Amino acid sequence: MIHPSIKEINEVIEKIKYIEEKRKKLSDFLKNINGLKWKVDTVDLNNLEIGGEDGGLIKKSTHLIDFVFLRCVSVIFRYLNNKLDEVIYYPSTNPTPEVDYSKDPLSDIEFRIFWSLRRMKKEIKLSIETIEKYSPDLFLIDGSLTIHPGDIPKKESILYDDYLELKNLLKELYISSKKKNCLLAGVIEDSLYTISSQSKTYGLPNVLIEADQRAKLSELDIEYYMNLIASKAGMHRLLFLRRENRPF
């Protein structure tokens, strides 16, 4: 095993110190600009129901077909007397991953758009079901509530129908949340202070952290399903494409 030299380690340490000092100076500078910071008041959580949804995804490209393994979980936190009283998981605490695939050959760019659209479709569908079933006061979705411009395929693309379906699902989500009098929010780190500050480790609300932990997929899980697929197809194993081994 090759170990880094003391000189290399010291260089890394000095670089970290330099970057941290620059970051601190910038932070101190921004703090003194009027209008860039304001006080956020805490909110009484008594008798509130706060929901959150997140999804886990692992993608695999083989010499025959492109796979996407998806799992989404919604979590409802019910508060009583400003304390967490009950936690509900939908559809369950550990749902079976859904296996999706492209019926047509896809380029690298098309495959990225494919799994991004399929993931968002599944997450929005589950969010609609959760809001309709539990009517939470607030429902949080990890990420944006709009489609990223980079995920919009060309009209002639075989993925365009997925895009149109996702647009309709987003409209349905807004309608459902309004009908159920549920405040809907897409969340990035630190964007909702009152419920994000409950966690000392992450800048996300606890309900989303819990949803993330429940939805997360491991490589061991997927290896089992890939071996099962290969076995039932009468193959020794599936060969992965080179893009599966890229470090980016």
Identify the DSSP state of 12. Answer: H
The domain limits of the chain are 1-33, 43-244
Asked if residue 123 lies in contact with residue 53, where contact means CB atoms within 8 angstroms, the answer is yes
Where are any strands of DSSP class E within the chain?
49-61, 66-80, 83-90, 98-101, 138-142, 183-187
Is the confidence at residue 95, as pLDDT, over 50?
yes
As a whole-number percent, the residues of the chain with pLDDT over 70 amount to 87
173-224 pLDDT, tens digit each: 999 999 999 999 998 764 464 555 555 555 578 999 999 999 999 888 888 8
Tally of CB atoms within 10 A around 57: 20
How many residues belong to the chain? 248
